[in-house]
Copies of this chain bind each other. A is one copy, B any other.
Amino acid sequence: MAAVPTLLVLDAEPLPRLGRLTGRVRVLHADGSTLGALLPEADVLLVWDTTSDAVRAAWPGAGPRPRWVHTAGADVERVLSPELAASDTVLTNARGVFEEPVAEYVAALVLAMAKDLPGTWAAQTRGEWRPRESRPVAGTRAVVVGSGPVGRAVTRTLKALGATTALVGRVPRTGIHGPDDLDRLLARADWVIAAAPLTELTRGMFDTRRFGVMQPSARFLNVGRGGLVVEEALVRALRSRWIAGAALDVFGTEPLPPDSPLWQVPGLLVSPHMSGAAVGRHDELGAQFVELFERWAAGRPLRNVVDKARGYVPGR
């Protein structure tokens, strides 16, 4: 390691909290066009702009590569090129920052759907007094797919609202169902919440067959990754009333193009990938990186290390 390591930051906005590293690190900034040229100089790459595909594009080039890459997001597939996966470079992510905001966002959507707030506010624009019955959340059944920290936080929040929850993960263990239980659970669920990482096992898992298993009164939410859902299958399920409604915060293509048919599917609520975007998170993300950097600089083991074969941080 050089006396003062070089930190290369891929960023689209000013970074909070990095001032604490002043004098202990040489900081370079890159955008998508300069990343490839600067990568060989970097000991550490901080991916602050998590919407960029620049790392996947730049990584396969020539020259040395950073020994550590940290992405200030929960998802790694925009960063994790096959070459990075095969390398010795350690990849960490921002696990711990997004869980509670996402759980609140799911609770907001579930309650809004139960109370039909979209219908109420549409009536408001027409000046129309249209009282009607709403559904309870307490006592309903939720299935949360994805047993990582986000899925577990979602489960805790829905439980706090009185829902009965089932958590489904890759491997069955205490309190967590395995994939073999999924269809049976989907068939009885009032709410199905996708909160899994995108892997070869989860890609496209919500397809025509799975929407067909759900109850006509079921509602489906995706706050995981767009690729978990076969979007055309969901649209068909909504149009055919196989399920009662859906809310998508993530999409196969983001930003969702203005001419996407998804904007206008009856019963489908579209939000712009903002479930984890709580006020104050930039500050938390900055502080989290500084803490990890201090561990790295001291030669202590990093936290939040991504299993590059699986595409997420395994464990607890």
Taking beta carbons and an 8 Å cutoff, which residues of A are in contact with B?
100-101, 104-105, 107-109, 111-112, 114-115, 117-118, 120-121, 123-124, 127-138, 157, 160-162, 254-256, 258-260, 263-264, 269-274, 277-281
Name A279's contact: one of B128, B135, B258, B264 (CB within 8 Å): B135
Q: Indicate if the CB atoms of A108 and B111 lie closer than 8 Å.
A: yes
Q: Indicate if the CB atoms of B138 and A104 lie closer than 8 Å.
A: yes
Q: Indicate if the CB atoms of A123 and B277 lie closer than 8 Å.
A: no
**Bound complex: CA of A161 vs CA of B158, how far in Å?**
9
**Bound complex: CA of A142 vs CA of B100, how far in Å?**
19
Residues of B within 8 A of A128 (CB): 258
Q: Indicate if the CB atoms of A136 and B101 lie closer than 8 Å.
A: yes
Residues of B within 8 A of A260 (CB): 127
Q: Indicate if the CB atoms of A129 and B161 lie closer than 8 Å.
A: no
Given the interface pairs A107-B111, A112-B117, the reply to whether A132 lies near B100 with Cβ below 8 Å is no
**Bound complex: CA of A255 vs CA of B114, how far in Å?**
23
Given the interface pairs A118-B121, A121-B121, the reply to whether A138 lies near B274 with Cβ below 8 Å is no
Given the interface pairs A112-B108, A136-B104, A277-B132, the reply to whether A127 lies near B161 with Cβ below 8 Å is no
Q: Indicate if the CB atoms of B274 and A121 lie closer than 8 Å.
A: no
Tell me the nearest residue of chain B to A255, going by C-beta. Answer: B129
Q: Indicate if the CB atoms of B123 and A115 lie closer than 8 Å.
A: no
Q: Indicate if the CB atoms of B277 and A129 lie closer than 8 Å.
A: no
Among A121, A123, A273, find the residue whose CB has the most chain B CB atoms closer than 10 A: A121
Given the interface pairs A132-B274, A274-B132, the reply to whether A104 lies near B108 with Cβ below 8 Å is no
Please give the distance in Å from A48's CB to the nearest CB on chain B.
Answer: 16
Given the interface pairs A127-B263, A134-B279, A277-B131, the reply to whether A111 lies near B121 with Cβ below 8 Å is no
Beyond contacts A108-B117, A160-B161, A161-B161: 8 other A-B pairs, Cβ-Cβ < 8 A, are A104-B161, A108-B108, A108-B111, A111-B112, A117-B117, A120-B272, A135-B278, A160-B160
Q: Indicate if the CB atoms of B136 and A273 lie closer than 8 Å.
A: no
Name A108's contact: one of B115, B123, B160 (CB within 8 Å): B115
Given the interface pairs A133-B277, A161-B157, the reply to whether A258 lies near B127 with Cβ below 8 Å is yes
Q: Indicate if the CB atoms of A121 and B277 lie closer than 8 Å.
A: no
Q: Indicate if the CB atoms of B269 and A124 lie closer than 8 Å.
A: yes
Closest 8 pairs between A and B when the two form their complex, measured CB to CB: A108-B111, A129-B255, A160-B160, A131-B272, A127-B263, A108-B115, A129-B272, A131-B274
Please give the distance in Å from A164's CB to the nearest CB on chain B.
Answer: 15
Please give the distance in Å from A86's CB to the nearest CB on chain B.
Answer: 33
Q: Indicate if the CB atoms of B124 and A105 lie closer than 8 Å.
A: no
